Amino acid sequence: DTGVSQDPRHKITKRGQNVTFRCDPISEHNRLYWYRQTLGQGPEFLTYFQNEAQLEKSRLLSDRFSAERPKGSFSTLEIQRTEQGDSAMYLCASSLAGQGAVGYTFGSGTRLTVV
Amino acid sequence: KNEVEQSPQNLTAQEGEFITINCSYSVGISALHWLQQHPGGGIVSLFMLSSGKKKHGRLIATINIQEKHSSLHITASHPRDSAVYICAAKPNTGNQFYFGTGTSLTVIP
């Protein structure tokens, strides 16, 4: 297992288009998190899953955003009708429940540019 | 209001200098991570601290729980240390981290 994988690494899309990102966590990790990082800022929490259940969503996650983790393994984050303000780095992280911050592992992120 | 504050925001150092990056937080935490983010965005966790001090190679991280403060030190800095360093605090309640805005470090040969 080589860690948390995210795909694609970069995505350029036209305003109004839908985009979908994928995150593959560390295989034994049952928690998966999505964060968004805009230029010059630290990451901001969007949502997290424990297994396939989405347990928490940030107010940052508007109706245009949806995340799924259908089988409790990989997760997808979809943004519908993209806006220029959605341009950011989207980071995924995973961890094992009960271990707190130990082993919390980040992916390399998907950089989204909306033109 | 940010739960986690970092300083400085930007730091330029000559190769070989001793570097300190500071992180203060306002919530009770169970752990704190120091993260390194290279251009291109990939994030690597350098340290996870809940007390005391940890050392890995030229990197040293300390935390003072009472003062709600942590520092990351780099000894004998090198141009390959150039990156953004982010402090991330895991609060006692909840499952998300609070992140600082990062310190952009440039080490000049």
Tens of pLDDT, residues B48-77: 888 999 999 999 999 999 999 999 999 999
Strand partners, A79: A19, A65
A42/B44 touch (CB, cutoff 8 Å), yes or no: no
Tell me the torsion sign for CA atoms A100, A106, A111, B1: positive
Q: How many CB atoms lie within 10 A of CB A111?
A: 18
Mean pLDDT in chain B?
90
Mean pLDDT in chain A?
89
Please enumerate in sequence order all residues whose Cβ is within 8 A of that of B71, keeping only pairs 6 or more positions apart, or say none.
B20, B21, B22, B23, B61, B62
Question: Lowest mean pLDDT: which of A87-91, A107-111, B85-89, B92-96?
Answer: B92-96
Q: Does B92 touch chain A (CB under 8 A)?
A: no
Give the pLDDT of residue A100. 56
Tens of pLDDT, residues B13-62: 999 999 999 999 998 998 899 998 877 666 778 888 889 999 999 999 99
**What is the average per-residue pLDDT within A8-18?**
96
Q: Nearest 5°: phi and psi at B80?
A: -70, -10
Which residues of B are less than 8 Å from A23 in CB distance? none
Contact A35, B41 (CB under 8 A): no
Question: Lowest mean pLDDT: which of A6-10, A46-50, A96-100, B2-6?
Answer: A96-100
Residue A101 has pLDDT above 70, yes or no: no
Q: What is d(CA B41, CA A12) in angstroms, rounded to the nearest whole number?
A: 16
Residue A102 has pLDDT above 80, yes or no: no
Of B2, B79, B81, nearest in space to B46 by CA: B81
Give the pLDDT of residue B1. 60
**What is the average per-residue pLDDT within A10-36?**
94
Strand partners, A5: A24
Q: What is d(CA B27, CA B45) in angstroms, rounded to the nearest whole number?
A: 21
- Which amino acid belongs to residue A80? Q
Omega of the bond prior to B8 within 30 degrees of 0, cis?
yes
Q: What is d(CA B88, CA A44) in angstroms, rounded to the nearest whole number?
A: 11
Interface probe with A: pick from B1, B5, B34, B37, most Cβ of A within 10 Å: B37
